Amino acid sequence: MRVLLLWTLLLPWSGFAQSDTSKQALRRPPYTLKITPLDLINPFQQAINVQADIPLTQRWGIDLGIGFVMNSWSFTQYKGESYRGLKLKPILKYYTSRTSSNDGYIGLVLKYTYIQNERYINVLRQGGQYTEWLLESKKIVIRGAGVRYGLQYYFGKRKRGVMEPFVGIGIRNVQVSTYDLPPDAELFLTEDWFSVDRPAGSYTTPDLMLGFSAGWVLSTDH
């Protein structure tokens, strides 16, 4: 795992240090279709994320991403619970280094996520006279923006495979709202120093982007 993280951090920068003796770059970046495999095993949010590169010019392109949140191993532990949503992530890319084997870029990332979570929780009723196990409905809306560095590395006999490690940083705002609980229901207050289960409210936090996507080159402009 440490080797994978180090490789993910360092590989994007290799694209900026390519020798001028590399093969001539394509006139425009290729059209690609990719997924982010690690999102399928994220313990907090299992999702299928699909991305498509659409070149605009030799140096500019758009990466359009859409994702479908299917489940959460952390927030759906009992029968009747659910965790589903939609993710949108467009990226405006400027390619700083281009060869026929790889394209290094810097990108402006925009993010929007909508999640609906239904989860059983233990609440206090009637001013703390007794507790009850109830199904809480929670809506989570995330908006964010950031800067990302990455490398699109093309491999295979015809350079049809694409691997894209990336790293970046940004900021995001998380809006959490809850409903379907009785008016007198009170949540148990905890003193946990770290928790990804946020109560209702608005939160602004840093956003670290680290990972990779993999896929197929659909067409190229030679």
Domains defined for the chain, CATH in brackets: 2-221 (2.40.128)
pLDDT at 47: 96
pLDDT at 207: 95
CA proximity to 62, closest of 13, 98, 100, 28: 28
Q: Is 126 helix (H, G, I), strand (E, B) or coil?
A: coil
Q: Is 62 helix (H, G, I), strand (E, B) or coil?
A: strand
Q: What is the pLDDT along the chain (222 residues), one digit of tens a residue?
A: 443 444 444 444 444 444 443 445 568 899 999 999 999 999 889 999 999 999 999 999 999 999 999 999 988 988 989 999 999 999 999 999 999 899 999 999 999 999 999 988 888 887 778 888 888 899 999 999 999 999 999 999 889 999 999 999 999 999 999 887 787 777 765 544 445 677 888 999 999 999 999 999 998 764
Question: CA-to-CA distance for 40 and 180, rounded, in angstroms?
Answer: 30
Q: Where are the alpha helices (DSSP H) in the chain?
A: 2-14
Question: CA-to-CA distance for 132 and 120, rounded, in angstroms?
Answer: 10
pLDDT at 58: 92
Beta strands of the chain (E only): which ranges? Answer: 28-35, 46-55, 60-71, 82-98, 102-125, 130-155, 161-179, 186-187, 201-221
Question: CA-to-CA distance for 137 and 159, rounded, in angstroms?
Answer: 47
What's the token pair of residue 213? 């996507």
CA proximity to 8, closest of 36, 48, 47, 30: 36
Question: CA-to-CA distance for 46 and 175, rounded, in angstroms?
Answer: 20
Question: CA-to-CA distance for 63 and 32, rounded, in angstroms?
Answer: 9
What's the token pair of residue 174? 């998380």
pLDDT at 63: 97
CA proximity to 200, closest of 133, 144, 140, 142: 140
